[in-house]
A and B are shown apart, each in its own frame.
Chain A
């Protein structure tokens, strides 16, 4: 059963439940403590040792049921077919007893030895590495290998030979074996299916997400949007957790020696009053301007989604969306659910042609007075002005007031300044101007921003 538990832990890891060696040891200890006889008890015991969040509990339960279903399955097979098997054994006067030597597929099929078949299938699975299955597409190949390992070729030759022969009994045997072979196919298929469910389901998703994270925001296909959204949300959440921790740490106080000594003078040098240094929290402010115009339409909803998630983290975030003019969207982000907020914003200003000069002037008018040395201004956009006046003086005024200006542009740097792009001109006023065209780079950059440019 030790091996059984190891296999289960492997399946669990494939289901994205992190199992560290320590937890594996705990699982073994827990299993020994409660015993293997009571499945429900074992399930509860392993669950409390291995699953460490509500999500993981759900994944654990799916995985446990899937993994240990095998035992139930083979037992059901045993019970259901015991009668039939016995009858058939009688009929063919059981000439071949269970072979002691290597596994005889024909004998097992003919004898209806389901338990033997199940065991052989397990063994073959271990031989061909069914647990290494990583992609759903490998299923048919794996099934074939599994059957080959069990000796399918020999069986097929036997069937062919029996069909050829003139003997009626032989031909009847061929038909029986052929039917049994069909059953075997179905069983092997189901077996591999289950292995894929156990080991491959999540790895495929992980691979897809890795690809998506690196994919250019503008090249995302409509059918990938939902996966992308989930990914964005997770990334933002990760940042949120990290960032929230940083802020809390900065708030802790320390002993203020100078003040303590000073106060102690009143008590003849005895430090009766202890003064703690309170760290003034320079509350950071972030102002984000997000381009939602036609030229960045593809990326816009992810930028907005990211903005929404960011808003949930940073206490003082002022958000603006712009195309031909700018609107404040902070309240929308605060009050609406994420989907409503995004569609509302896109409805209000989305998909028009950009006028950066006007948008900057709008934001400056609405928010200029609030931009001060604590404000970090983040601009998400491609810097394409449609040949309108870029209003660089407004950009300069904002840059002078703000602590930092960070411009994230989905276009590669070689395009900056070409055609109607005024990015090169704007970039001069930015503390940082970078290309950011995939979720991965967006996450990295935002993390950079939170770490470097926000006062603690």
Chain B
């Protein structure tokens, strides 16, 4: 049994003690404003709508379905929320063929087999001592149940999230890549925050986790799932918002250059490209420019670093000739 690659648990606050958080902000979820402020404090610039969605998600106890182009910070939102709330982040990456045994729990088959082999003699002895076949069978039933108990249970992300005593932030990434059947299964889990394991019984979350689902629109999600979620569409940001994001993420970049580079990216987005550069590309580009000690954009620098922004050869070739025009528009 390979360890599940889809499971990653990280503690929410890597460099901040849990105690200091509570003193800094009494309750980050108290209002939309305090959420914006709190998220801003840990480097996530949230629009009002994003903060409102998070606020309602916290107070109505509903999962938040986040949609939008790749790289606008869908996953980042969940990470930032887990830091802000001081809850562990449990992330589940979806893919085609993901099923319950990878998402919820699995029995440790190998361990079970190994233990039966090791205990074979012991089992044999105790069964041999049984007065009758029925008694032996009865004994076997009792022993057998031992192998389907907690120590042999391998919890996967969903179960882990439900069993966190203080609650957790559960990020179900790229739900659109999973199959329909899995979506239906998720529905059940997300509406009641409980799962039933036939051998152990029902496991109910003491504190329901804060759930984020992200989707890139690979396929249309079922209506039932959408109905159960709050829906947050994050569009590509406008100039002002993107400048603030860059300022927060790449503090080393000068204000003039920042305005210029964001305007350039904004102009790029108006072009007919196969893959539009999103926020993560802008941030990467800003970092690259800082590393290269660029003071102001000029065609040569842009040409050399265009591959940071554009990810398709055809896009780069098409834009290469237009760099002059684009820069002239940026001013």
Q: Show the binding face of A for B, using Cβ within 8 Å.
A: 18, 20, 22-23, 26, 29-30, 33-34, 40-41, 44-45, 47-49, 51-54, 56-57, 241, 244-245, 248-249, 251-253, 270-272, 274
Cβ B231 vs Cβ A29 within 8 A: no
Residues of A within 8 A of B219 (CB): 241, 244-245
19 A-B interface contacts by CB (under 8 A) = A22-B227, A26-B60, A26-B62, A33-B55, A34-B32, A34-B55, A40-B48, A41-B48, A41-B52, A45-B55, A48-B52, A48-B53, A49-B230, A51-B231, A51-B233, A52-B231, A53-B67, A54-B235, A270-B117
Cβ B52 vs Cβ A249 within 8 A: no
The 3 closest A-B pairs by CB, nearest first: A44-B52, A48-B53, A52-B226
Residues of B within 8 A of A249 (CB): 179-181
Complex partner residue of B233 from A23, A26, A53, CB under 8 angstroms: A53
Cβ B226 vs Cβ A48 within 8 A: no
Residue of B nearest to A274 (CB): B109
Cβ A30 vs Cβ B56 within 8 A: yes
Q: Is residue B15 within 8 Å, beta carbon to beta carbon, of the partner chain?
A: no
Give Cα distance in the complex from A274 to B106, angstroms: 14
Give Cα distance in the complex from A120 to B55, angstroms: 38
Q: Is residue B232 within 8 Å, beta carbon to beta carbon, of the partner chain?
A: yes
Give Cα distance in the complex from A184 to B117, angstroms: 92
Cβ B227 vs Cβ A248 within 8 A: no
Shortest Cβ gap from A441 to chain B (Å): 24
Q: Is residue B151 within 8 Å, beta carbon to beta carbon, of the partner chain?
A: no
A44-B220 in contact given A49-B56, A53-B231, A53-B233 (Cβ < 8 Å): no
Shortest Cβ gap from B241 to chain A (Å): 15
A241-B220 in contact given A51-B231, A53-B231 (Cβ < 8 Å): yes
Q: Is residue B49 within 8 Å, beta carbon to beta carbon, of the partner chain?
A: yes
Give Cα distance in the complex from A325 to B295, angstroms: 63
Complex partner residue of B113 from A23, A41, A272, CB under 8 angstroms: A272
Given contacts A18-B223, A33-B56, A270-B113, 19 further A-B contacts (CB under 8 A): A22-B228, A26-B60, A33-B60, A41-B52, A44-B48, A44-B49, A48-B49, A48-B56, A48-B230, A48-B232, A49-B56, A52-B227, A249-B181, A251-B96, A252-B97, A252-B179, A252-B181, A271-B113, A274-B109
| Residue of A44, A49, A270 contacting most chain B CB atoms (<10 Å) | A44
Shortest Cβ gap from A455 to chain B (Å): 20
Q: Show the binding face of B for A, using Cβ within 8 Å.
A: 32, 48-49, 52-53, 55-56, 59-60, 62, 64-65, 67, 96-97, 109, 113, 117, 179-181, 219-220, 223, 226-228, 230-233, 235
Give Cα distance in the complex from A47 to B180, angstroms: 26
Shortest Cβ gap from A275 to chain B (Å): 13
Shortest Cβ gap from A406 to chain B (Å): 26
Shortest Cβ gap from B154 to chain A (Å): 15
Cβ B180 vs Cβ A248 within 8 A: yes
Give Cα distance in the complex from A29 to B49, angstroms: 17
Residue of B nearest to A21 (CB): B227
Give Cα distance in the complex from A47 to B53, angstroms: 9
Give Cα distance in the complex from A48 to B235, angstroms: 14
Give Cα distance in the complex from A244 to B56, angstroms: 34
Cβ A248 vs Cβ B60 within 8 A: no
Complex partner residue of B179 from A33, A248, A253, CB under 8 angstroms: A248
Residues of A within 8 A of B96 (CB): 248, 251
Give Cα distance in the complex from A363 to B304, angstroms: 49
Residues of B within 8 A of A245 (CB): 180, 219
Residue of A nearest to B228 (CB): A22
Residue of A nearest to B47 (CB): A44
Cβ A48 vs Cβ B231 within 8 A: yes
Shortest Cβ gap from A235 to chain B (Å): 15
Shortest Cβ gap from A337 to chain B (Å): 10
Cβ A45 vs Cβ B231 within 8 A: no
Residues of B within 8 A of A33 (CB): 55-56, 59-60
Cβ A29 vs Cβ B60 within 8 A: yes
Residues of B within 8 A of A271 (CB): 113
Residues of B within 8 A of A47 (CB): 49
Residues of A within 8 A of B49 (CB): 44, 47-48
Cβ A45 vs Cβ B180 within 8 A: no
Give Cα distance in the complex from A30 to B230, angstroms: 10
Complex partner residue of A41 from B32, B60, B228, B232, CB under 8 angstroms: B32
Shortest Cβ gap from B171 to chain A (Å): 18
Residues of A within 8 A of B59 (CB): 33
Shortest Cβ gap from B68 to chain A (Å): 8
| Residue of B52, B53, B55 contacting most chain A CB atoms (<10 Å) | B52
Shortest Cβ gap from B235 to chain A (Å): 8
Give Cα distance in the complex from A40 to B56, angstroms: 15
Shortest Cβ gap from A52 to chain B (Å): 4
A20-B113 in contact given A29-B60, A244-B219 (Cβ < 8 Å): no
Shortest Cβ gap from A64 to chain B (Å): 13
Residues of A within 8 A of B181 (CB): 249, 252
Give Cα distance in the complex from A41 to B47, angstroms: 12
Give Cα distance in the complex from A56 to B65, angstroms: 14
Give Cα distance in the complex from A52 to B227, angstroms: 8
